[in-house]
Structures are given as structure tokens and as C-alpha cells.
């Protein structure tokens, strides 16, 4: 495991998966099943890995989402294998966030879901300085707001990478 935090933009902390069970501390081996859980802390989104043995009794209150995962050997960690439904749920649950890092995170998630045609752009409105996109899930009528933080291309790249790292448990 290498904690390569150097080169990450300052100001947005993501606590990454540790490759071991958050509850009992057991090291998770490549190929082993585990549960990945995402929770919100005041400063960041935190990804926790929990072994199957600890999962049932793990306190799931306050989690943004969770999914079953298999820890891949490091060479296979590039692909985003998180289910689209998990991404949609995360997008919806982060709707109320006011914290800048999470707004970035949700915006990039929105771009990914648009590309995957899971959410549809409807219109843009302005509230003061804020640009807000009105979105809806494909097949649903209710609208959701998506704040456009006006990230430049480089920043979108950085946030995408962080998103991939936290969702894939890229250690």
C-alpha cells in the first residue's frame, strides 16, 4: 500500500480506503470480497472497507452508500467497476451539500452520469453568483439541482481521478 498523497490538490481531503477492515483491522487480500462504504465527514468523503465478517454488525447509519467489492490486484485497479446505481444514489444523496469539495465531487459525478445517460440536463438558472443546472434522472420527472462550480479542465481531471480512487479503493 502506498499513501501517495503528494501531488493531490490541497484543500480537499479524501480519506482513501486502507486495504484493511475498518472494524477488525484484518488486511484484505487481493481477490477477497469486502464491503466498501462511503460516509460523509465534516471535511471529506471517507471510504471505509469492511470485511464480510464484520459487515453484518457494522453501523450503517449515516452512510452515503455501500457496495460489495472485490479487492483487485493493483494492476487491475484502473477500471471503474462501481455500479451505476451506486453512483446515482451518491449523486442524489450529496444534493444538499454546501461544502466546496463535495460540490466539486458531485459535479464531476454529474458529468459522468450524463455521459452514461443516467441523468439528463434540462436547463440553467442563475441565483446570484451561482449557476445551477436543472437535472433529472432518466425515466423520472422530478428535477434536481446541480451547482456548476465552473471547474476548469484540469480541475475536472483531478476530481475525476479522486473519484476513481475513492470509489475503486485505488490504494
Q: Which residues bind Zn ion (CB under 5 A)?
A: 21, 23-24, 26, 51, 54
Nearest to Zn ion of 9, 25 (CB atom): 25
Q: How far is the CB of 32 from Zn ion (least distance, A)?
A: 11
Query: In angstroms, how far apart are the furthest CA atoms of the chain?
Result: 50
Nearest to Zn ion of 23, 132 (CB atom): 23
* DSSP result, 55-79: HTTS--TTEEEEEEEEPPPGGG--S
Q: How far is the CB of 17 from Zn ion (least distance, A)?
A: 13
Q: Residue 116 in contact with residue 109, Cβ under 8 Å?
A: no
Nearest to Zn ion of 54, 80 (CB atom): 54
Q: How far is the CB of 51 from Zn ion (least distance, A)?
A: 3
Q: Residue 62 in contact with residue 72, Cβ under 8 Å?
A: no
Bridge partner residues of 45 (DSSP): 40
Amino acid at each position: 500500500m502506498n499513501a501517495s498523497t503528494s501531488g493531490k490538490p490541497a484543500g480537499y481531503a479524501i480519506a482513501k480506503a486502507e486495504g484493511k477492515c475498518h472494524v477488525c483491522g484484518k488486511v484484505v487480500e487481493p481477490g477477497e470480497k469486502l464491503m466498501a462504504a462511503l460516509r460523509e465527514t465534516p471535511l471529506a468523503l471517507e471510504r471505509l472497507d469492511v470485511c464480510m465478517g464484520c459487515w453484518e454488525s457494522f453501523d450503517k447509519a449515516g452512510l452515503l452508500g455501500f457496495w460489495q467489492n472485490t479487492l483487485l490486484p493493483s494492476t487491475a485497479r484502473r477500471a471503474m467497476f462501481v455500479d451505476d446505481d451506486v453512483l446515482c444514489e451518491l449523486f442524489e444523496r450529496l444534493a444538499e451539500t454546501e461544502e466546496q469539495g463535495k460540490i466539486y465531487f458531485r459535479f464531476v459525478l454529474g458529468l459522468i452520469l450524463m455521459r452514461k445517460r443516467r441523468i439528463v440536463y434540462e436547463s440553467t438558472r442563475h441565483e446570484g453568483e451561482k449557476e445551477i443546472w436543472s437535472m433529472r434522472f432518466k425515466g423520472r420527472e422530478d428535477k434536481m439541482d446541480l451547482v456548476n462550480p465552473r471547474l476548469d479542465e484540469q480541475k475536472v481531471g483531478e476530481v475525476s481521478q479522486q473519484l476513481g480512487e475513492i470509489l475503486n479503493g485505488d490504494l
